[in-house]
Amino acid sequence: MTEGFPPDTPSAASATLWAECLDLLAQEIPEQQFNTWIRPLAARVVDDGSRVVIAVANRFKMDWIRAQYAARITALLESLHGSPVTLELALAPRETPSRTVPTARTVQDQVLAELPDVAPAEPATPSAPKSRLNPALTFANLVEGSANRMARAAAMHVAGSLGQLYNPLFIYGGVGLGKTHLVHAIGNHLLAERPNAKVLYIHAEQFVSDVVKSYQRKTFDEFKERYHSLDLLLIDDVQFFANKERTQEEFFNAFEALLAKKSHIVLTSDTYPKGLADIHERLVSRFDSGLTVAIEPPELEMRVAILINKAAAENAVMPEEVAFFVAKNVRSNVRELEGALRKILAYSRFNQKDISIQLAREALKDLLSIQNRQIGVENIQKTVADFYKIKVADMYSKKRPASIARPRQIAMFLAKELTQKSLPEIGELFGGRDHTTVLHAVRKIAGERQQNTELNQQLHVLEQTLKG
Ligand code: ADP
Ligand code: MG
């Protein structure tokens, strides 16, 4: 399977075969997954197209791609090529990033720009290392589902064999999906095994203010000593480094120092590395140089499991049917799910009643009535975006890859079907599109629905979800 990556023999036909295959994959794989797994792949087509070798960055990705995508990729290649294709996965030769030395800069203006977070009167932080870990956030109480399986597996691997593979580990996903929980779990797991390990959890904003403080107090050596001596640095929400030049530079230094001594770095962010805005390219490429994994919004079964687990942790019994009822109605993220559960538990205790669907309905009255009042175009856009795992913003964006354009057309179709809005009004709500665009989408989806049972099934689920 891994004979190595053949030398580049550029041929227009072979380049086209892979490019066409990518186009097709982009249409059927959710955008986030496509960006994480498929887009970075380099492929060589050899032997007139009967053999395709894909270079994969590391063993973890190789296993994952083999398990998740290889069969589909082969099938697509074969249908494009018109005859059997052997797919091989090879480890890509590892690029060693050039060790650029950060340029000396005038510190003062950058520090000033990054200053607002700081309370200058605060006493100096004691140098005693504190991990800042929350012991309540562990692997044991992080429910696994297909939405986080990959990220969880990678995190457990890192926690169990620090400094070896997947360094840095970059975890990204939307709010409330469990990124912070996961990084604390890594730290807690490590400390349970090696109580003397030097671990630090820090939110990116806190790191910014640490940098600023150490400049103000001229305690930069202490700062360096503190960060550069860690075994494991967990840094949360690195999107907050945007536009913080000085911080980025210090982080870059810490990053290099830690990697050089085989300490591990785990980062989280709301987007994948290349999607980060206003962060220095050299830092972005470091972020992406280990393993990058996504956490997706939890699917229904996972939401049910989370509710049942969390209720049990509170010594309450949540019957499965109630968990299903709540999970169907609270869809966006785990934090909202927890909010709903808290309301139900409080309501049940206060009224001394067991948890039932009726009780959940009453406890969540406000939340449900907002959802059910009427079906709005916004709600349709959000539901369809969730369903197809794209961003709501893509409903109004001008982007045109099929992975986005199709859900958008489906949302337009549903908007026409389920609301009283006119075609021009709908076009307006989809980023100012022309009414003919909406009409085209409505006709197209309505027509395809008759032919395509899978689409029909999806529309059915969406309609039921929206009607509540
Ligand atoms: P993020 O950092 O991605 O915004 P958090 O890690 O803060 O999200 O998670 C939000 C809440 O949901 C936390 O209380 C966390 O414990 C909980 N949570 C998230 N994912 C899971 C999961 N898979 N199982 C159990 N609890 C979870
Ligand atoms: Mg978080």
Q: Are 345 and 430 in the same domain? A: no
Residue 333 tokens, joined: 């993220």
- Domain assignment present for 137: no
Pairing of strands 51-56, 291-294: unpaired
How far apart (Å, rounded) are the C-alpha atoms in residues 291 and 36? 10
List the domain range (segments joined by +) for residue 447. 375-467
Residues in the chain: 468
How far apart (Å, rounded) are the C-alpha atoms in residues 97 and 404? 33
Q: Identify the nearest ligand to the CA of 239 by its number.
A: 2
306 Cβ closer than 6 Å to some ligand 1 atom: yes
Q: Are 367 and 379 in the same domain? A: no
Question: pLDDT tens track of the chain, all 468 residues?
Answer: 444 566 655 566 667 888 888 888 888 787 777 887 888 888 888 878 889 999 888 877 888 888 888 988 998 898 888 888 999 998 877 644 444 444 444 444 444 445 443 333 333 344 335 899 999 999 999 999 999 999 999 999 999 999 888 999 999 998 899 999 999 999 999 999 999 999 999 999 999 999 999 988 988 899 999 999 999 999 999 999 999 999 999 999 999 999 999 999 999 999 999 989 899 999 999 999 999 999 998 999 999 999 999 999 999 999 999 999 999 888 878 999 999 999 999 999 999 999 999 999 999 988 876 555 568 899 999 999 998 999 999 999 988 898 999 999 999 999 998 888 889 999 999 999 999 999 999 999 999 998 898 899 899 888 878 876
Look up residue 460 and give its amino acid: H
Which of 175, 183, 334 gets mutated to test ligand 1 (max ligand atoms within 8 A of its CB)?
334
Residue 288 tokens, joined: 């992406």
338 Cβ closer than 6 Å to some ligand 1 atom: yes
Compute the Cα dihedral for 154, 159, 165, 168 and give only its sign: positive
- Domain assignment present for 187: yes
How far apart (Å, rounded) are the C-alpha atoms in residues 436 and 228? 59
143 Cβ closer than 6 Å to some ligand 1 atom: yes
- CB burial string 94-119: b at 16+ within 10 A, e below: eeeeeeeeeeeeeeeebbeebeeebe
CATH number of the domain where residue 431 is located = 1.10.1750.10
How far apart (Å, rounded) are the C-alpha atoms in residues 95 and 40? 14
- Domain assignment present for 360: yes
Q: Are 333 and 402 in the same domain? A: no
CATH number of the domain where residue 289 is located = 3.40.50.300
pLDDT, position 3 = 47
Atom 6 of ligand 1 has which residue's CA nearest to it? 178
Distance between Cα 179 and ligand 2 center (Å): 5
- Domain assignment present for 252: yes
How far apart (Å, rounded) are the C-alpha atoms in residues 171 and 293? 5
Ordered DSSP codes for 383-418:
HHHHHTT--GGGGTS----HHHHHHHHHHHHHHHHH
- In angstroms, what CA-CA distances link 280 with 153, 170, 241, 249, 285? 29, 16, 9, 9, 9
Beta bridge partners of 91: 56
Residue 74 tokens, joined: 């082969």
Q: Are 417 and 458 in the same domain? A: yes
* CA nearest to 186, candidates 171, 176, 173, 172: 171
Q: Are 155 and 285 in the same domain? A: yes
The number of folded domains in the chain is 4
- In angstroms, what CA-CA distances link 71 with 40, 55, 88? 18, 16, 11
- Domain assignment present for 347: yes
CATH number of the domain where residue 43 is located = 3.30.300.180
Distance between Cα 360 and ligand 1 center (Å): 22
The backbone torsions φ and ψ at residue 123, rounded to the nearest 5 degrees and listed phi first, read: -70, 160
- Domain assignment present for 122: no
- Domain assignment present for 87: yes
Four-point Cα dihedral 358, 177, 198, 253, nearest 10? -160
Compute the Cα dihedral for 319, 321, 326, 328 and give only its sign: positive
Q: Are 383 and 415 in the same domain? A: yes
Q: Are 99 and 60 in the same domain? A: yes
Q: Are 384 and 332 in the same domain? A: no
Question: Who contacts 468 (Cβ-Cβ below 8 Å, separation ≥6)?
Answer: 329, 368, 371, 372
Instruction: Kindly give the number of the ligand 1 atom that is closest to the alpha carbon of 182.
Output: 6
Q: Are 331 and 462 in the same domain? A: no
Q: Are 272 and 404 in the same domain? A: no
Q: What is the largest CA-CA distance in the chain?
A: 74
Compute the Cα dihedral for 255, 257, 258, 260 and give only its sign: positive
pLDDT, position 34 = 84
Question: Who contacts 269 (Cβ-Cβ below 8 Å, separation ≥6)?
Answer: 170, 171, 172, 237, 238, 239, 276, 287
**91-95 LR contacts (CB < 8 Å, sep 24+):** 91/2, 91/4, 91/5, 91/55, 91/56, 91/57, 91/58, 91/59, 91/62, 92/5, 92/42, 92/55, 92/56, 92/57, 93/5, 94/57
Last residue of a domain, one of 294, 329, 363: 294
CB distance 111 to 215 below 8 Å: yes
177 Cβ closer than 6 Å to some ligand 1 atom: yes
How far apart (Å, rounded) are the C-alpha atoms in residues 156 and 413? 43
Which of 133, 171, 181, 337 gets mutated to test ligand 1 (max ligand atoms within 8 A of its CB)?
181
Ordered DSSP codes for 39-69:
TT-EEEEEGGGTEEEEEESSHHHHHHHHHHT
**Which residues of 140-246 form beta strands (DSSP E)?**
169-172, 199-203, 232-236
CATH number of the domain where residue 365 is located = 1.10.8.60
Q: Are 399 and 347 in the same domain? A: no
Helix (H/G/I), strand (E/B), else coil: 346:
helix
179 Cβ closer than 6 Å to some ligand 1 atom: yes
* CA nearest to 414, candidates 377, 456, 367, 439: 377
How far apart (Å, rounded) are the C-alpha atoms in residues 355 and 324? 13
Distance between Cα 352 and ligand 2 center (Å): 34
Q: Which residue has the tokens 């709301």?
A: 270
Q: Are 315 and 341 in the same domain? A: yes
- Domain assignment present for 118: no
How far apart (Å, rounded) are the C-alpha atoms in residues 327 and 334? 10
Last residue of a domain, one of 272, 294, 316: 294
Distance between Cα 237 and ligand 2 center (Å): 7
How far apart (Å, rounded) are the C-alpha atoms in residues 38 and 393? 22
158 Cβ closer than 6 Å to some ligand 1 atom: no
Last residue of a domain, one of 294, 312, 344: 294
CB distance 17 to 49 below 8 Å: yes
